[in-house]
């Protein structure tokens, strides 16, 4: 009798194991990257695009799947692809930032990205991480729960990616190069887009307006992504409420709002119920300009939501917040909380190993030829964190230097506090030359495996007071608190949410204010942290964390793939 029981038990174990792994699949895509001529705003424009489309293809996976993407670079530019928000647990080689985790994929060559989706569900995205190619090389990355699991909210009737983008009537690589050569700011974009279409407020765009058909009474999950290069955006749907259920692929306690504020790099999953009278309604987006004194593209993109059975009457337009409406932006950003005990919920680590206080802001770099530079005071624009202005290596990626123990590529001396303490958000310091000129370096912070890091991100008033969206590769962090003015530990620690804070990979640090984030460095490798305004990243508003290997083979970075691009 014992033997049949044992055989039955073994069969049950095998069946259980097979059912657990059956939901995990290998999802394979090919990206054909090449120049493409498209018509926008009354003109033909050559862009770099993936698989002949703008946006590029939407990738659908389930939690637990392995994603394999073959990238064929048939464009004239060096290229990498970053899988924005993916943890890349033990797969740092696939993260993608140029000269951080890999050398670029050169024109006429290919590279295959391969990584597993582990303990993540929701909306993320992929984009180029070389120069300004991100303006047109991007697409949605949607992670659904594995088979047998469900959303922690009522299942929507349909899911719809809403990708907000930015458009130039110019070659974006030329726009960036012109700005870098002059030392000044780049030309503003000419339009914003919804799913690649500018909308009918722009010239020659009546037939380039995104349209979403809905059925009365049904609920739609809008997966909103801000793929714009340099602008945070307000997004509204006329006469409809939106319920936020996730941000940056992290579930949130449902939050009802009539406006979504979203910084470059961020995502927001919102439920929209078609509960209004049958008709047509505009969805619209325009910038949140935290510093309106800085020139920006002040146009509006819009799409149309059309109810089944609607007549041809003119759609209703939402009233968007004023460009400089910081109170509305802050209310949205600070009202979100995490869905405690929901899928993939991670409690706040309470013991902190590394405390960092990091100033972020603009600055200047000396003009090499007097009278030729267009930055403030006749100098070149620059940017820094803790008075260190980040400079990319050129001969070897930082991750290769880490893995092969190569010296001279980066230095592990990023300061954990600013070298000079000053009144950070006082506008009187904006032109203090003793604070504006930060040295260039490839300076990083070295972390022990599993160390918990708490970082106060303090905005400054240097050059201009503005909101900075800061993105951390490789990790999600808890947002413990955020506020205005100079961070004061005696006062502001009392505001920490250690119970159910929102988790993100990109935080919009309030204009003239601060944010406190906390994360656990449980993934070996080199992880980039930078401002997700592409105008600021080449100026040096970035740093990196080098996380040491763990104690076991399963916690040590594996060797690079055989086809890793070489510099």
- Could you tell me the CATH number of the domain that includes residue 323? 2.60.40.420
Question: Is there a domain that residue 271 lies in?
Answer: yes
Question: Does residue 312 sit within a domain?
Answer: yes
Q: Are 447 and 548 in contact (CB under 8 A)?
A: yes
List, for residues 7-36, the tens digit of each pLDDT value: 444 444 333 444 444 568 999 999 999 999
pLDDT at residue 39 above 90? Answer: yes
Higher-scoring residue by pLDDT: 535, 396: 396
pLDDT in tens, 348-369: 999 999 999 999 999 999 998 8
pLDDT at 23: 65
d(CA 519, CA 477): 5
Beta carbons within 8 Å of 107's beta carbon, 6+ residues apart: 73, 74, 75, 76, 77, 78, 79
Q: Could you check whether the bond before residue 342 is cis, i.e. omega within 30 degrees of 0?
A: no
How many other β-carbons are positioned within 10 Å of the β-carbon of residue 11? 10
Is 18 among the domain residues?
Answer: no
Residue after which a domain boundary falls, among 149, 171, 200: 149
If asked whether residues 188 and 90 sit together in one domain, one would say no
Indicate whether 335 belongs to any domain.
yes
pLDDT at 361: 93
Q: Give the pLDDT confidence score for residue 547 in this predicted structure.
A: 98
The residue segments making up the domain with residue 97 are: 24-149
164 and 218 together in one domain: yes
- The last residue of one of the domains, among 116, 149, 182, is 149
Rounded Cα distance, 73 and 25, in Å: 26
User: Given pLDDT bands bounded at 50, 70 and 90, which one contains residue 1?
Assistant: very low
As for how many domains the chain has, the answer is 3
User: pLDDT tens for residues 194-230?
Assistant: 999 999 999 999 999 999 999 999 999 999 999 999 9
Dihedral angle of Cα 279, 285, 286, 287, to the nearest 10 degrees: 150
Instruction: Assess whether 104 and 64 both reside in one domain.
Output: yes
Considering the domain architecture, whether residues 209 and 198 belong to the same structural domain is answered as yes
pLDDT at 477: 98
Tens of pLDDT, residues 67-121: 999 999 999 999 999 999 999 999 999 999 999 999 999 999 999 999 999 999 9
**Average pLDDT score over the chain:** 94
For 63-85, give the DSSP string. TT-EEEEEEEE-SSS-B-EEEET
Query: Does the predicted TM-score (pTM) go above 0.85?
Result: yes
| Contact in structure between 517 and 481 (CB atoms under 8 Å) | no
Q: How confident is the model at residue 440 (pLDDT cuts 50, 70, 90)?
A: very high
Greater confidence (5 vs 402) lies with 402
Looking at the fold, whether 517 and 397 belong to one and the same domain comes out as: yes
pLDDT at 291: 86
42 pLDDT exceeds 80?
yes
- Residues 244 and 118 occupy one common structural domain: no
What is the rounded end-to-end Cα distance, in angstroms, of the chain?
66
User: Does residue 501 lie in a domain region?
Assistant: yes
- Same domain membership, residue 122 and residue 54: yes
Domain identity same for 386 and 530: yes
Q: pLDDT at residue 3 above 60?
A: no
Which band of pLDDT confidence, cut at 50, 70 and 90, is reported for residue 6?
A: very low
Are 280 and 315 contained in the same domain? Answer: yes
pLDDT in tens, 459-508: 999 998 989 999 999 999 999 999 999 999 999 999 999 999 999 999 99
97 found inside a domain: yes
| Spatial distance between the Cα atoms of 381 and 438, rounded to a whole number of angstroms | 11
Residues 269 and 162 grouped into a single domain? yes
In a shared domain, residues 170 and 136: no
User: Does 111 lie in the same domain as 132?
Assistant: yes
Residue 562 lies in a domain: no
Q: 444: how many CB neighbours lie within 10 A of its CB? A: 25
Instruction: With respect to residue 8, please indicate whether it lies within any of the assigned structural domains.
Output: no
Tell me: the pLDDT tens digits for 117-143?
999 999 999 999 999 999 999 999 999
Last residue of a domain, one of 320, 342, 364: 342
Mean pLDDT, rounded, for 524-552: 94
pLDDT value at residue 403: 97
How confident is the model over 292-343, as pLDDT tens digits?
Answer: 888 999 999 999 999 999 987 899 999 999 999 999 999 999 999 999 999 9
């Amino acid at each position: 009798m014992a033997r049949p029981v044992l055989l039955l038990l073994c069969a049950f174990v095998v069946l259980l194991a097979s059912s657990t792994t059956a939901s995990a699949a290998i999802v394979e895509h090919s990206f054909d990257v090449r120049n493409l001529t498209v018509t926008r705003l009354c003109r033909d424009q050559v862009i770099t695009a993936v698989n002949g489309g703008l946006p590029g293809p939407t990738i659908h996976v389930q939690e637990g799947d392995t994603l394999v993407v073959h990238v064929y670079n048939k464009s004239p530019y060096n290229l990498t692809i970053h899988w924005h928000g993916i943890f890349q647990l033990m797969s740092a080689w696939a993260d993608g930032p140029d000269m951080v985790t890999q050398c670029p994929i050169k024109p006429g060559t290919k590279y295959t990205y391969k990584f597993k989706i582990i303990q993540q569900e929701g909306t993320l995205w992929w984009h180029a991480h070389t120069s300004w190619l991100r303006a047109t090389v991007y697409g949605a990355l949607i992670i659904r729960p594995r088979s047998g699991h469900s959303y922690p909210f009522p299942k929507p009737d349909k899911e719809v990616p809403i990708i907000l983008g930015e458009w130039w009537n110019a070659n974006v690589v030329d726009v960036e190069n012109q700005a870098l050569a002059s030392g000044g700011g780049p030309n503003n974009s000419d339009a914003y887009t919804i799913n690649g279409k500018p909308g009918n407020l722009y010239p020659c765009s009546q037939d380039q307006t995104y349209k979403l058909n809905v059925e009365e009474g049904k609920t739609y999950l809008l997966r909103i992504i801000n793929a714009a290069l340099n602008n945070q955006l307000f997004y509204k749907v006329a006469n409809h409420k939106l319920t936020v259920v996730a941000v940056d692929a992290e579930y949130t306690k449902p939050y009802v709002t009539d406006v979504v504020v979203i910084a470059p790099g961020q995502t927001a999953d919102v439920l929209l119920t078609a509960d209004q009278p049958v008709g047509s309604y505009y969805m619209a987006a325009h910038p949140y300009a935290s510093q309106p004194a800085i020139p920006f593209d002040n146009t509006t993109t819009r799409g149309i939501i059309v109810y089944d059975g609607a007549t041809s009457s003119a759609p209703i337009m939402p009233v968007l917040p004023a460009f400089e409406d910081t109170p509305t932006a802050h209310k949205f950003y600070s009202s979100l909380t995490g869905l405690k005990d929901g899928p993939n919920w991670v409690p706040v680590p309470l013991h902190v190993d590394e405390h960092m206080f990091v100033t972020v802001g603009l600055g200047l770099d000396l003009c090499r030829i007097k009278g030729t530079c267009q930055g403030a005071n006749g100098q070149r624009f620059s940017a820094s964190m803790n008075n260190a202005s980040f400079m990319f290596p050129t001969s070897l990626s930082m991750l290769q230097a880490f893995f092969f123990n190569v010296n001279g590529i980066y230095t592990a001396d990023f300061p954990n506090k600013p070298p000079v303490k000053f009144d950070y958000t006082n506008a009187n310091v904006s032109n203090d030359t003793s604070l504006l000129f930060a040295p260039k370096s490839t300076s990083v912070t070295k972390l022990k495996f599993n160390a918990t890091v708490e970082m106060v991100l303090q905005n400054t008033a240097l050059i201009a007071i503005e909101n900075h969206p800061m993105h951390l590769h490789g990790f999600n962090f808890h947002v413990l608190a955020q506020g205005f003015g100079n961070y004061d530990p005696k006062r502001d620690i009392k505001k920490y949410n250690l119970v159910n804070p929102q988790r993100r990979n990109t935080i919009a640090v309030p204009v003239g204010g601060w944010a406190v984030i906390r994360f656990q460095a449980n993934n070996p490798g080199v992880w980039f942290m930078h401002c997700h305004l592409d105008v600021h990243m080449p100026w040096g508003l970035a740093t990196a964390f080098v996380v040491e290997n763990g104690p076991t083979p399963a916690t040590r970075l594996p060797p690079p793939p055989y086809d890793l691009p070489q510099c």
